[in-house]
Amino acid sequence: MMLRGRNGLAIALALTCALAACKEEETEPNPEPTRPTSPGPETRAHPSAGRSWTFLVYMVADNNLEPAALNDIIEMAAVGSGTDFNIVLQIDRAQGYDESGLGPLPNWTSTKRLRVTPGGLEELEDLGELNMGAPQTLADFITWGAKTYPADRYALVFWDHGGAWPGFGGDDSTQDGDLLSIAELKAGIQAGMGGASLQQFALIGYDACLMSTYEVALAMRPFGEYLLASEELEPGHGWDYRALQVLNQDPSTSPLTLGQQLIQGFQTQAQVEETSANITLALTDLYALDDLVLAVDQLAALFPAGTSATTATAFGRGREATLKFNESPDPSQSSHMVDLGHLSEQLAAHALEAGPARDSIQAALAKAVVARTNGPRTASATGLSIYFPPRLNYYRADYAALTEVATWRDFLTRYFREGAPGVIPTFLQETAEVLQTPDGFTFRGQLSSGAAEFITVARLYHGYARADNSLVVLGDRPAFVVGSGDQAYVESTWNLTALKLTQGVKSGYAYLSLEADTSGAISAIIPFAYLESPSAQAQYALRVLLIDPGGNVTQDTFYVESQGVFGELFPVPGAILLPLVQIFDANGNATFDVLTEGDAAFDATLPISLGVESLSTGTNAFGILAIEDYRGEGDQAYNIVVVP
């Protein structure tokens, strides 16, 4: 979260207004979206007959996920094609990530079409280097696969990075790591099906991060019976394709049973690999979305133009309390996807009038999401997420291209622009009170009259001031409203320690963002810059640790962003990781950047140890309490503590 507010911030000598300069350029939603006609009663019925399957995998492995692709093909080969069942791939491999051969095939970097046989591979065609981010490439594969291996039922699985509604993929052999946007996915699928006279897919799957969304489901429903995808970042092992044995044993297996088996295999593999803490995978009946569309429209209608500040605040608090996916300390890097069912629950908890819409959404989700698995950290997940950024300047204008969600987009327009502003929450003083406690130092700011009623977010940002009057923000954690009326405060506690990373003789501070859930479990998120070589362009990366209520680390995973989509990090030899912190210079300009102090260019292929250490004696440590209303307007209070 960038810090900004109505008043400026003055820390040490020349830092007046340091935090007021963080506001990004605002891009507002389409002010006059076209409303679609509400869908009529769903008349499609799932076919009950079918004696054969073709399982098509569009494998975009021309990037850092190539090693995971090879592992998944080995899983597929453990099953192999059989009578009335074929596993067919189109895979584009990369240079420099994995030089291994695969079965009878030596290493390649072009695009091949393969049939997976029991224990091996059959090369069908080498297409040369193709752009797997081009809709026509996708269309050609679908047409070819369906014509070459005709069957009663077809599955189409997209394998690579995922980025929720902005798209899927990333072909590194193209100049800009070309993705398939939702519009391009639709165009490619439609053209490919048309070329093969294919009526529908029994299953459309995304073995990728973040793709189980309301937006993706609506975009895919003209093309298939079921959608199988994850709301959250997927671990690198992805699905366990040994679950395809169910089709080899019985090619008359229904897509519902296939989806259930893939979910079970994914869950079991995640438990074995110790990546199950925050998994999600859901099977959505694309024939059963009409009730959900009506229910989401019902929820959106609760926020008309001119909605009271009280209701707007309740919506903001509900959103803040909702399970979120792919959250980052730098919100410009977050996906801003929230679980749809949990959102309805939290909105109803804060605004009683949302109760009927909650009931409608949860009933519709129970009908549409026919199977799913969650980890303990994602226990509140209900199968589909939806786009809901926290404020206008994080809204992406290209969301307007999704014609299926015009009603929700219209809600976002009203939420950001047309709700009553209420009272902007402020502190009575810029200087926070500091109280030493057994747990550290509590920073407390007294609120102005009525401010507590309109706060949706409160956090403590902490770090130290440097001699050049710049600020190094080392982390953030929740802050809490205590008291009421004229005796209302916001407070949070920090023990003047910082996260220190070490690898051999190398060490450096890193930013640490902490968030606890209602069970007491904690997620700890650490941002990095990832470079495949010292001269390469930096990519944004996250180390995500999940800590149970007993203090045990249950999961520790690195993820990397590429062109807006995410996947688990598979570092190449020579790659480095540089820990990031947030730095405010003396003019108030803020960036997430690498500290110049210390040798912190870590070898990305080796373990990086985590430790917590006290700041050096005499350091000017600061705490900044930040409060916001539902629009992101607010105030800050700060103080400095000289480390004893």
SS (H, E, C) 168-222: EEEECCCCCCEEECHHHHHHHHHHHHHHHCCCCEEEEEEECCCCCEHHHHHHHCC
Residue type, position 220, single letter: M
Nearest-5° angle of CA 146, CA 150, CA 156? 40
Residue 35 pLDDT: 33
Residue 32 has pLDDT above 90, yes or no: no
Residue 587 pLDDT: 79
Which H or E element spans position 71?
Answer: helix 66-77
Whole-angstrom distance, CA of residue 506 vs CA of residue 604: 13
Q: How far is CA 209 from CA 118, 227, 383, 523, 524, in A?
A: 28, 14, 13, 18, 19
Question: Residues 255-290, buried b or exposed e (16+ Cβ, 10 A)?
Answer: bbebbbbbbbbbbebbeeeebbbbbbbbbbbbbbbb
3-state SS, 379-445, equals: CCCCCCEEECCCCHHHCCHHHHHCHHHHHHHHHHHHHHHCCCCCCCCCECCCECEEEEECCEEEEEE
Residue 224 pLDDT class (50, 70, 90 cuts): very high
Which tokens in the block code for residue 278? 């925050």
| Phi, psi dihedrals of residue 618, rounded to the nearest 5° | 90, -5
Residue 8 pLDDT class (50, 70, 90 cuts): very low
Lowest-confidence segment of 264-278, 507-521, 530-544 by average pLDDT: 507-521
The residue-averaged pLDDT of 232-245 equals 97
Q: pLDDT exceeding 70 applies to what percent of the chain?
A: 93
Closest CA to 184 of 209, 165, 203, 206: 165
Give me Rg for the CA atoms of the chain.
Answer: 25
Which tokens in the block code for residue 189? 């699928």
The residue-averaged pLDDT of 452-476 equals 94
Which tokens in the block code for residue 237? 């092992």
Residue 519 pLDDT class (50, 70, 90 cuts): confident
Residue 15 pLDDT class (50, 70, 90 cuts): very low
Sign of the four-CA dihedral 249, 254, 258, 263? negative
Which tokens in the block code for residue 603? 């070898």
Domain boundaries of the chain, sorted by first residue? 53-208+237-274, 291-417, 433-642
Lowest-confidence segment of 35-49, 126-140, 198-212, 402-416 by average pLDDT: 35-49
The residue-averaged pLDDT of 28-42 equals 41
Residue 218 has pLDDT above 60, yes or no: yes
Q: Write out pLDDT tens, residues 46-101.
A: 998 999 999 999 999 999 999 999 999 999 999 999 999 999 999 999 998 999 99
- Residue 61, beta-bridge partner list: 93
Which tokens in the block code for residue 207? 């073995």
Whole-angstrom distance, CA of residue 375 vs CA of residue 279: 5
Asked if 153 and 114 count as a contact pair (C-beta separation under 8 A), the reply is no
Mean pLDDT computed over every residue of the chain? 91
Residue 596 pLDDT class (50, 70, 90 cuts): low
Could you tell me which CATH number the domain at 53-208+237-274 has? 3.40.50.11970
Lowest-confidence segment of 10-14, 168-172, 344-348, 582-586 by average pLDDT: 10-14
The full DSSP string for 491-527 is EEEE-SEEEEEEETTEEEEE-EEEEE-TTS-EEEEEE
Residue 11 has pLDDT above 60, yes or no: no
Residue 42 pLDDT: 62
Asked if 444 and 435 count as a contact pair (C-beta separation under 8 A), the reply is yes
Whole-angstrom distance, CA of residue 3 vs CA of residue 18: 9
Q: Write out pLDDT tens, residues 174-190.
A: 988 899 999 999 999 99
Residue 27 pLDDT: 45
Residue 14 has pLDDT above 80, yes or no: no
Residue type, position 156, single letter: L
Whole-angstrom distance, CA of residue 636 vs CA of residue 539: 31
Residue 16 pLDDT class (50, 70, 90 cuts): very low
Which tokens in the block code for residue 300? 């959106």
pTM of the predicted model as reported, rounded to 2 decimal places: 0.92
Residue 610 pLDDT: 94
* H and E: helices and strands count for the chain: 11, 34
Residue 137 pLDDT: 98
Residue 2 pLDDT: 35
Residue 22 pLDDT class (50, 70, 90 cuts): very low
Residue 13 has pLDDT above 90, yes or no: no
Residue 534 has pLDDT above 80, yes or no: yes
Q: Write out pLDDT tens, residues 465-476.
A: 988 888 999 999
- HSE of 566 in the Cβ direction (CA atoms, 13 Å)? 28
Q: Whats the size of the chain, residue-wise? A: 644
Residue 629 pLDDT class (50, 70, 90 cuts): very high
Question: Residues 362-371, buried b or exposed e (16+ Cβ, 10 A)?
Answer: bebbeebbbb
Residue 595 pLDDT: 83
- HSE of 581 in the Cβ direction (CA atoms, 13 Å)? 26
Which tokens in the block code for residue 160? 């690579």
Whole-angstrom distance, CA of residue 145 vs CA of residue 566: 28
Residue 230 pLDDT class (50, 70, 90 cuts): very high
Q: Which burial class, exposed, middle or buried, applies to 317 when counting CB atoms under 10 A from its CB (0-12, 13-18, 19+)?
A: buried
Q: pLDDT exceeding 90 applies to what percent of the chain?
A: 82
Q: Write out pLDDT tens, residues 93-115.
A: 999 899 999 989 999 999 999 99
Residue 234 pLDDT: 96
